[in-house]
Amino acid sequence: MYKSYSMELAGRTLRVDVGRVAKQANGAALMHYGDTTVLSTATASEKPREGIDFFPLSVEYEEKMYSVGKIPGGFNKREGKASENAVLTSRVIDRPMRPLFPKDYRNDVTLDNLVLSVDPDCAPELTAMLGSAIATAISDIPFDGPTSTTQVGLVDGKFVFNPNAAQKAVSDLQLTVASTRDKVIMIEAGANEVPEDKMIEAIFAAHEVNQEVIRFIDTIVAECGKEKHTYTSCAVPEELFAAIREVVSPEEMEVAVFTDEKQKREANIREIKDKLAEKFADNEEWLALIDEAVYQYQKKTVRKMILKDHKRPDGRAINEIRPLAAEVDLIPRVHGSAMFTRGQTQICTITTLAPLSEAQKIDGLDAAETSKRYMHHYNFPSYSVGETKPSRGPGRREIGHGALAERALVPVLPSEEEFPYAIRTVSETFESNGSTSQASICASTMSLMAAGVPIKTAVAGISCGLVTGETDDDYIVLTDIQGLEDFFGDMDFKVAGTHKGITAIQMDIKIHGLTRPIIEEAIARTREARLYILDEVMAKTIAEPRMELSEYAPKILQINIDPQKIGDVVGQRGKTINTIIERTGVKIDITDDGAVSICGTDKEQMARAMDMVRIITTEFETGQILTGTVVSIKEFGAFLEFAPGKEGMVHISKISKGRIDKVEDVLKLGDVVKVVCLGKDKMGRVSFSMKDVEQ
């Protein structure tokens, strides 16, 4: 039965149609926010997937170009692989919802979001986040929801909820907050150095808006919600745990996992697994569960020791950062490089500079953004964690980490007017044991400085973890989590920023949300650690951007010309501009407003190209001294080319101070000579003289 529900959300109508389309899905919601329309569905398999030890959740966000009245570019004229924005949206939908499914649930679940139409003032990403939460809540899939998501902007010092396109363009904050009924479950932010107290205020202002939406969702679930289906639990039997504890005591497990060497710990765990496999060789059912059982045993051991005894696996204090190191210029011939090491996490970032014409073109649903001049790419090869597998290109995690670092650094980049370059930083993970994304932010800052990019200030990132007990006030926050604490803990709270404030946040959790005291402590801890990294490590490695670019980096000269003269520089079918490029070896970009950028590595040739552009676009003036090449000789004089497409004539009487019979007596084709402009004659023609040039 088709039902429609609506509420006012941030000044616009949110409407949900249930039972109208996609009735064979476990749950479906046709979402309307303004004129933005998204179909969100939730489906689950009937039986658990065999042979896995994780919850197989897939989240899809499908951008259809018809939603903005476009035909896709390219040869096929149909949508291909997911865009970067689609991948990031899928991740941000996944993160608040995954913790709310049962821990022992192994049925395949897919949350699909199909963007049907886009209203620029009503974000389809936000609509899909709400749609997935509603579709899952009304389905028969086990889910401890609902959740709600709100976006927050900061315009002229005031919070704006679910900002429209114009507000986003001037906002100092791009914050996304997801909540359950009681707690905040996901935070994602990009910010222009927003102070910590302002960020906390924004997070909980969004949390209040989320409560209104959750009450709205509850009314839908009450009328349309299906009874949750039963499922086969894949939890490890308690009798297996009891049997394992008889073979491996809690004290033995503690010794095995509490070491600061990842390889040593992994070797210890392998020995334990081998010991158990030998013990239970006759029990095939238990043999299949040993890996998961040992994982759970490790988890309980680590959590107990951290929470009760404040003992971390590597022996650090709760607020202690692992040993830090940094260096620049380790890679020759690139435009800039830096390496940042934190414990067993090591990132090397390489910076490349190029003309603005090499900025990334974006063919997406957001009409406001068609190109991107700063690109941060993050790579995570298998050798960084001591594993072996072939590289298949960046996955969703790599794309997400790259976008997080990019978001953290954008606020401190110089404007195009200050620094007319496209900039790419690539972070290569050499070694990984926790929070490589934040290490990539530190390495990228130093790499940009080493490349001579005049960033406004340095940015550093750090991550905090969390272990919780039975009650909301029984918890401990960990500064600089390593891999083991991330795997077995409840939170990975990443914060990047400057001395002044926060530039990016990404919060992943495995529990049903965080209280305000936990969030406040985590943000305070990351600030303390961030300032230490900035002052004690990064500033002592490279304190400020270099004044000059690398000798291998392209240099750019700029000149502004009358837009009406652009055609003169380009020439018929590009003949003029291509001639300049061929003669000088530079690259030339011209914008519609007449900004000309000349890019190259040879300063003399760049200056020569600049002179050519200036001559082409400037009217000759009386007394102006010019250098030209003889390109044609006639009986009455010689024609000189001063720049491609820009010629003038020297009459035979103006070639030499003495009388000559033929032009060829003094000049031949290809001669380069200096002339002075004599102005226009009675017929309006510009004339030049060689003999009147002062020697």
Domain boundaries of the chain, sorted by first residue:
3-151+193-224, 238-309, 324-488+510-541, 555-617, 625-689
Q: Which of 117, 82, 110 has its CA nearest to residue 94?
A: 110
Could you please state the CATH topology (level 3) that the domain comprising 3-151+193-224 is classified under.
Answer: Ribosomal Protein S5; domain 2 (3.30.230)
Per-residue pLDDT tens over the stretch 551-570: 899 999 888 999 998 998 99
Q: Let me know: does 494 contact 189? Beta carbons within 8 Å.
A: no
Backbone angles phi and psi of 12, in degrees to 5: -135, 160
What pLDDT score was predicted for residue 149? 98
> What are the angstrom distances between the C-alpha of 614 and each of 267, 414, 546, 583?
69, 27, 30, 16
Q: Let me know: does 48 contact 234? Beta carbons within 8 Å.
A: yes
Q: Which of 112, 146, 131 has its CA nearest to residue 24?
A: 112
The CATH class, in words, for 324-488+510-541 is alpha beta
Q: Let me know: does 521 contact 480? Beta carbons within 8 Å.
A: no
Tokens 């389809």, residue?
A: 124
- Taking residue 400's Cβ as centre, other Cβ atoms within 10 Å add up to 23
What pLDDT score was predicted for residue 543? 96
Cross-strand bridge partners of residue 378: 427
C-alpha span between 112 and 43 (Å, rounded): 8
Q: What is the CATH code of the structural domain delimited by 238-309?
A: 1.10.10
Q: Structure tokens of 104? A: 């022992």
> What are the angstrom distances between the C-alpha of 489 and each of 55, 72, 306?
17, 43, 10
Radius of gyration of the chain (CA): 32
Could you please state the CATH topology (level 3) that the domain comprising 555-617 is classified under.
Answer: Ribosomal Protein S8; Chain: A, domain 1 (3.30.1370)
DSSP assignment of 411-454, as one string?
Answer: GGSPPTTTS-EEEEEEEEEEE-SS-HHHHHHHHHHHHHHHTT--
Per-residue pLDDT tens over the stretch 181-209: 999 999 999 999 999 999 999 999 999 99
C-alpha span between 617 and 611 (Å, rounded): 10
Residue 553 carries which side chain, given as an amino acid letter? A
With respect to CATH, is domain 625-689 assigned 3.40.50.300? no
Query: With a cut of 70, which residues of the chain have pLDDT below it?
Result: 367-369, 694-695
What pLDDT score was predicted for residue 124? 96
> What are the angstrom distances between the C-alpha of 232 and each of 50, 140, 189, 296, 510?
11, 15, 38, 19, 21
What pLDDT score was predicted for residue 246? 87
Backbone angles phi and psi of 109, in degrees to 5: -130, 135
Residue 154 carries which side chain, given as an amino acid letter? L
C-alpha span between 329 and 312 (Å, rounded): 35
For the chain, give the number of residues: 695
Q: Let me know: does 133 contact 148? Beta carbons within 8 Å.
A: yes
What pLDDT score was predicted for residue 367? 60
The yes-or-no answer to whether 3-151+193-224 and 555-617 have a common fold is no
What pLDDT score was predicted for residue 238? 87
Nearest-10 Cα torsion for 295, 296, 301, 303: 110
Q: Structure tokens of 527? A: 């600030």
